[in-house]
Chains A and B, each alone.
Chain A
């Protein structure tokens, strides 16, 4: 299957700083990338959808000025958590979608996640 990487895998930062998380599709071109957030013992919640070269679409309740998403190429999307606070501590997972190598339409491939801890 297609491979999606995330960097960093974990990050600890002080309150008020900004953190950038990268999501890369390694062996396919991702027309669409998604960012999810998962709090402890909760399921994944979609934060935003980004299409290459256009603005991201945010889900209701997600602050677009706080969670900046850039999808500058077909293999890279970044999520920047600006002025992070302890309540932003969570597990952030990206996925990349398109047509998979097996020809399945709409299949998404997930990165390994980034654990963010804001002190």
Chain B
């Protein structure tokens, strides 16, 4: 059974700091990995999707890497802003299209 772990569970940083969120998964047989953002009481916003054949994806200030063999992914956020405050979820897709989510990292960026 696939398990996804995210570290840290919560993170508080001052505005402008660069930060890294970590995600690990137990079964390396994945099709892709996605990072999502969730604001309180809201749905999910897809940030980056990395296919299993890729090693990283970039969008603006966000960069996600994937090391499939070691079962790890990182989300790097550059020059953090208060608007980046949210819960960041990592999810992997395995067989049958099923997504398995981590519990998320609650990020607070202080002005």
With A106-B32, A112-B43, A113-B42 known to touch, is A42 a contact of B49 (CB < 8 Å)? Answer: no
Using CB atoms and an 8 Å cutoff, list the residues of chain B in contact with chain A: 31-32, 34, 36, 41-44, 46, 49, 51, 89, 91, 93, 96-104
Please tell me the size bucket of the interface on A: 20 to 34
Is A49 in contact with B49, judged by CB distance below 8 angstroms? Answer: no
Q: Across the interface, do A105 and B46 meet the contact criterion of CB distance under 8 Å?
A: no
Please tell me if the beta carbons of B51 and A110 are within 8 angstroms of each other in the complex: no
CA distance A108 to B92 in the complex (A): 11
Taking CB atoms, residues of chain B closer than 8 Å to A49 are 96-98
Determine if A43 is an interface residue (Cβ-Cβ < 8 Å).
yes
- A115–B101 Cα distance when bound, in Å, is 19
Across-interface contacts of A97 in B (CB, < 8 A): 97
By the criterion CB–CB under 8 Å, are B32 and A111 in contact? no
B32 touches A93 (CB 8 A): no
- CB contacts (< 8 Å) of B32 on chain A: these are 104, 106-107
| Inter-subunit contact B44/A93 (CB<8 Å) | yes
Q: Mark A89-109, 1 if CB is under 8 A from B, else 0.
A: 001010101000000111111
**Is A44 close to B, CB under 8 A?**
yes
Residues of B within 8 A of A113 (CB): 42-43
Contact A43 B49 (CB under 8 A): no
Query: Which chain B residues border A108 with CB–CB below 8 Å?
Result: 34, 93, 97, 99
Q: Is A34 an interface residue (CB 8 A)?
A: yes
Tell me the nearest residue of chain A to B104, going by C-beta.
A43
Verify B97–A43 contact, CB threshold 8 A.
Answer: no
Are B46 and A1 touching (Cβ within 8 A)?
yes
